[in-house]
Amino acid sequence: MKVLILSASTGNGHMSAAYAVEQELTARGHVARTVDVLDHTGRGFRAWYRGGYETLVKRAPKVWGHLYQTSDRKLFNYWVQSRLDVTFVARMRRYFISERPDWALCTHSLPQPALARWRRRHRFKLGVVVTDLYPQLMWLRGDPDWFFVPGEWSKEILTERLPRSSGRTSVTGIPVASQFCTSASKFEARKKLGLDEKLPTILVTSGGIGGGPIESVVRALHGLPESQVVVVCGRSEPAKNAALRAAKEAGRVKFSVKGQVTPDEMALTMHAADAIVAKPGGITTFEAMAVGLPFVVFDPFLIPGQEEKNAEFLAESGIGRRCKTPKELLKTLAHLIDHPSELEAMSERALAHAKPMAAKMIVDKMEELSRRR
């Protein structure tokens, strides 16, 4: 079975999901390749899709939220974006057809409209891995052979929106790298990272693009009980520099500030932590659940639209808490540190909702469907 896994490098999550599935496919002897669709589009479109997204998320999150909401209905924004996707992804057609894949598996919705057109003349199966709990309308394009969704709630919403999908949807969770799915000693992980093995440990991250008021969070956490905080700032040098400045003034709290880290280091840091403060991206949410890590959503980090439903899920399932201000964040974390039994209960609920075998389940279904005529 030959599979092209199509994604887009807007943030880190979509590509991470793609690599997790590629890892499983390759381990079984299939030919699999992850392709960043944006690498096959024009320079202007690529700059808008990557840079425009990051700029809006950082500087005008409400505008991004508006675009997300209005494109969730078949109105002007939906049709304009779909037309742009078809037009600019068309440049990839020659490469795609030359590869002659048995499957095109999307972990980003960008290529779906173009793939639907290419299927009129070329035979291949189309799978879609929805990487958010809420299946926004963009994910429904292209008439896929199979949908892979994060949870039962996601499947229910998808069926309501696209009734004919009910017989071709699997609840698999969102695929995460194998490093997050292995059991690891919290103390051994801290030792490998050079952290104090006994201190309560908090992981703070605002995602790969390093958006959000990271400096105000670091300053607020000076007031925690004796503990240590690992701050991961992604690829944003300004965010890292701001966090470093704020961390220098700390008293009894030990801070470790890092920029972009490898998946291995992020997995090890999650295993070392007692709780994570982050925005609830689909991948981050499922990585944390696979580790059994309690999740504290800091709303100013949150991307309006796709991450709001993820935040609601974490709070309603008892896996996480939501905080709107640095003061509220400090109060919540201090309470959790002083009440380890609550952290333990949150961790158990996270593990109960985790789906660490998502990549395996996706590949199982793909193999099954490939055996059918």
- Give the CATH number, domain containing residue 29: 3.40.50.2000
**Within this chain, do residues 303 and 257 fall inside the same structural domain, yes or no?**
yes
**Within this chain, do residues 183 and 137 fall inside the same structural domain, yes or no?**
no
Please report the pLDDT score of residue 67 as a whole number: 86
Residue with tokens 């998946």: 263
HSE value, Cβ hemisphere, 13 Å, CA-based, for 345: 8
Cα dihedral 168/362/208/195 (nearest 10): 140
Torsion sign over Cα 85, 99, 116, 9: negative
Please report the pLDDT score of residue 170 as a whole number: 97
Please report the pLDDT score of residue 26 as a whole number: 97
pLDDT of the chain along its 373 residues, tens only?
A: 999 999 998 877 899 999 999 999 999 999 999 999 999 998 888 888 877 777 777 777 888 788 888 999 999 999 999 999 999 999 999 999 999 999 999 999 999 999 999 998 899 999 999 999 999 999 999 999 999 999 999 999 999 999 999 899 999 999 999 899 888 889 999 999 999 999 999 999 987 766 778 999 999 999 999 999 999 998 888 889 989 998 887 678 999 999 989 989 999 999 999 999 999 999 999 999 999 999 999 999 988 887 898 999 999 999 999 999 999 999 999 999 999 999 999 999 999 999 999 999 999 999 999 988 6
| DSSP label of 233 | -
**Within this chain, do residues 61 and 12 fall inside the same structural domain, yes or no?**
yes
**Within this chain, do residues 184 and 97 fall inside the same structural domain, yes or no?**
no
pTM for this one?
0.92
- Length of the chain equals 373
Contact 159, 166 (CB under 8 A): yes
Residue with tokens 């998502």: 358
**Within this chain, do residues 160 and 212 fall inside the same structural domain, yes or no?**
no
**Within this chain, do residues 188 and 301 fall inside the same structural domain, yes or no?**
yes
Number of structural domains found in the chain = 2
Contact 5, 31 (CB under 8 A): no
Please report the pLDDT score of residue 373 as a whole number: 62
**Within this chain, do residues 79 and 202 fall inside the same structural domain, yes or no?**
no
Residue with tokens 């199982």: 364
- Sheet hosting strand 228-232, strand order edge to edge: 254-258, 228-232, 201-205, 275-278, 295-298, 320-323
CA distance 279 to 307: 8
Strands 125-129 and 201-205 come out as unpaired
Please report the pLDDT score of residue 61 as a whole number: 80
HSE value, Cβ hemisphere, 13 Å, CA-based, for 350: 28
**Within this chain, do residues 192 and 125 fall inside the same structural domain, yes or no?**
no
Tokens of 191: 């030792």
**Within this chain, do residues 96 and 124 fall inside the same structural domain, yes or no?**
yes
**Within this chain, do residues 127 and 205 fall inside the same structural domain, yes or no?**
no
Beta bridge partners of 255: 229
First-to-last C-alpha distance (Å) of the chain:
14
Please report the pLDDT score of residue 210 as a whole number: 61
Please report the pLDDT score of residue 189 as a whole number: 95
- What range does the domain containing 76 cover? 2-176+357-371
CA distance 151 to 252: 41
